[in-house]
A = this chain, B = another copy of it.
């Protein structure tokens, strides 16, 4: 293993690789650091880049991940998702070189399988006996699935009243669902307290668990391969707290450090119109992101994260966006659904509204002139449309009744009137 330590992103205090959630000195966010020099010279590293790794999916890149023993890999075949050119949608948006990374093709149908596979593999390596996560969304579904695959019991903590449909995937994997009164913050606090007190693995999808974000990193390596080493000018990512954006950028930073690319892509974070603490700080040129208090209702529920209790996660993401020369913007719900439909109609990909905010991001940045018509743009489609098909429901759904060929012919001719 080439991971050498956990280091605080704030005060740089360094501790051995272990299941810690915060810097013990300053309470800062921990990050996995590596011996990049040895990694870059290693045979396993070059084997991974050549595509001759003994592992498949995202675990092809296992030398770049913080797992000591590959027999601890807990995999459902995540990663290796298609990167699709989207010429028809691209023309519509004025960006002919548009590529879509379809993370909905992961086993639980969202990108969360990457951090969950990493986090559960690490939990197994540490001999952890129980997993917990606060999430009624894609992270909960993914964590429950990987915990089941590993044979680890899993608690999923969600606000009281969360409907069955939001936890159907997690429940099916045998996870025990617990309600907490009040908002998501209470679920989050309980999960964290239990993990710290009982030595459980906490996979709540923020920067708490320092290992999960490493799984997100593999997206960068895959895109690098799929674009045959070309670097996108822009990578557009829907963000709540933002580990996916920070992880993807870390992958590109590693590629640059290894001399495999010469520059970084500009990272774009897209937030929802209901909850946008990072976009606000970005627009106001602030250096700190603040908690978001107020309504969080939006079709892009996967990124409706008010950061209550962990605003520093937003600050970290804000810094990552700025350091890459990127942008951060807000997607209105109506335009988001419109973009989800346009994508399906032009390219056949059906995505969750949260993911569709990324398509809106392309439209908006192109209109504002940030994205040029010659730019190479990649959007991370974070989850499948089947996660939330009702979001696209057309209340006026009333197909014509056509019983014979003659009736069909009449209908067709009418169409042209």
In the complex, the count of this chain's copies comes to 2
Give the Cβ gap from A139 to chain B, nearest Cβ, in Å.
Answer: 14
Residues of chain B within 8 A (CB-CB) of A401 are: 160, 178-181
A66 within 8 A of B: no
Complex: A173 Cα to B411 Cα, angstroms: 20
Contact B404 A172 (CB under 8 A): no
Q: Which segment, of A190-198, A279-287, A294-302, faces chain B?
A: A190-198
Contact A350 B77 (CB under 8 A): no
Complex: A411 Cα to B198 Cα, angstroms: 14
Contact B81 A77 (CB under 8 A): yes
A357 within 8 A of B: no
> Quick one: which of B56, B76, B178 contacts A400, CB cutoff 8 A?
B178
Closest chain B residue to A116, Cβ basis: B348
Closest chain B residue to A176, Cβ basis: B399
Q: Which of A162-208 contact B (CB under 8 A)?
A: 164-165, 168-169, 171-174, 176-181, 186, 190, 193-194, 197
Contact B348 A146 (CB under 8 A): yes
Q: Which of A181, A348, A387, A389 has the most CB of B within 10 A?
A: A348
Contact B88 A77 (CB under 8 A): no
Closest chain B residue to A389, Cβ basis: B168
Contact A344 B88 (CB under 8 A): no
Give the Cβ gap from A137 to chain B, nearest Cβ, in Å.
Answer: 13
Contact A344 B145 (CB under 8 A): yes
Complex: A402 Cα to B404 Cα, angstroms: 59
Contact B346 A403 (CB under 8 A): no
A108 within 8 A of B: yes
Contact A399 B179 (CB under 8 A): yes
Contact A102 B77 (CB under 8 A): yes
With contacts A148-B345, A173-B345, A348-B148 taken as known, whether A181 is within 8 angstroms of B105 at the C-beta atoms is no
A349 within 8 A of B: yes
Cβ proximity bits A65-107 to B, threshold 8 Å, 1 near / 0 not: 0000000000111001111100010000000000000101111
A-B residue pairs in contact (CB < 8 Å), sample of 5: A57-B82, A76-B349, A104-B107, A149-B347, A178-B402
